[in-house]
Amino acid sequence: MEIAIIGGGIAGLSFALHLHKRGLKARVFESVPEIREIGVGITLLPHAMREFTAIGVDKAVAAAGIENLESCFFNRFGQLIYKEPRGRHGGNAYPEIGLHRGRLHRVLLDAVGDRLGPDAVVTAHHCDGVTQDADGVEIAFADPRTGTRLGTRRADLAIACDGIDSAIRRQFYPDEALAFAGINTWRGVTRRAPILTGRSYMRVGSIKTGKLVIYPIIDDRARDGTQVINWMAEIEGDRHTRNDWNKPGRLDDFFHLYEDWHFDWLDVADMIRNAETILEYPMVDRDPVARWVFGRVALMGDAAHPMYPRGSNGAAQAAIDARTLAACLAAGGDAQAALKAYEDARLPATTKVVLANRANPPDIINIRVEELVGDRPFDNLDDFITQEELRALSDRYKEIAGFSANALQAERGEGS
């Protein structure tokens, strides 16, 4: 059986490694002519690291990033609301890692090249669509630089890992639109001295009045005493003009929200002003669909269940998809039945996460405190809400998202 993987992102490369581990043949077709280390930061939660451990890249991933020690929640006045230990420090079997997305991509790409060979990833092949018959699929490709047709490739199965704007998903859902609720984001990286412990993940403020997520992704303290800090500014506006993807961001569009944020533990305005890179993104997802599998074609990762880029869960859910489908195919039997078993296992679970990210985001703690206190500094937070109640809010999101200690303990060994 030969499997064509459309898209060489986190889902596609993870899936190729899982298939190779199980003795199944795959080739990855990637649209971009050259795969480069681009983007900003990403956090890999314990259930993501469980999946990367299963394909033997966990040590390389950890070496490329920084292991988080704690997660801290602050209001927009810099007051600590709640904090908790994370990853192994919070009792999980797996760490929580912050790193540059390009470095993660490089780790996966190098592993595919080493194990599957230099021809396993074919670049400059943009998928135009698929057709199928009783025996296999035909995948049409074009050169993304010129639009020149590159002919077709035949395989037994085609797995769409081509992201939120998947050409294959569009073939089956041609009238679908992105869901945008008026939330835009700006992401940047700033080189500076470590913040708090140097291994702290910080959520500051809320989307109602201006929110920031801040965490380190590259540690150069041994060289010059600095870290590369990833930050994301997020605001819910009354305008419905959607940001573009990976477009250079303009300070004038959002800096006014943060220019007065000067805390005793961080000068936020200075951090943003001194960013090396700022990119803008919209906060979008797609409504969950009833099917991912169409004969010999299946959707995976962001092509199957694009979710809000909050809660650090997109990469984890894509990696779980990859392991689940590889295991279903390796079990033998009818390949199309294996695709359906994968859909039955993963579609309901990811639908819950997509909807949870809309209705009950991980920063619900910040939002709840802002509502109770009235968006002003507090003298004693326990007068409004207790630490136990805040911990319950945090734990509820972890259960829904699948990375609570209980969920990971229940699934231990499943990623083998």
Instruction: For the beta carbon of residue 102, count every other beta carbon within 10 angstroms.
Output: 17
What is the model's pLDDT at position 401? 64
Query: In whole angstroms, what is the distance from residue 285 CA to residue 283 CA?
Result: 7
| pLDDT tens track for 129-188 | 999 999 999 999 999 999 999 999 999 999 999 999 999 999 999 999 888 878 888 999
What is the model's pLDDT at position 405? 61
Query: What mean pLDDT comes out for the span 380-402?
Result: 86
Query: In whole angstroms, what is the distance from residue 5 CA to residue 162 CA?
Result: 9
Q: What is the mean pLDDT of the chain?
A: 90
pLDDT band at 357 (very low <50, low <70, confident <90, very high): confident
pLDDT band at 412 (very low <50, low <70, confident <90, very high): very low
What is the model's pLDDT at position 404? 64
What is the model's pLDDT at position 414? 44
Greater confidence (188 vs 358) lies with 188
3-state secondary structure of 388: helix
What is the model's pLDDT at position 283? 82
Run of H or E including 31: none
| pLDDT tens track for 93-122 | 899 999 999 999 999 999 999 999 999 999
Domains and CATH numbers, the chain: 2-68+93-178+287-360+406-411 (3.50.50.60)
Query: In whole angstroms, what is the distance from residue 231 CA to residue 275 CA?
Result: 9
DSSP string, 205-273: EETTTEEEEEEEEEEEHHHHSEEEEEEEEEEE-S--PPP-SSEEP-GGGTGGGTTT-B-SS-BHHHHHH
Q: At what angle do helices 46-54 and 10-21 cross, to 10 degrees?
A: 40
Strand partners, 278: 188
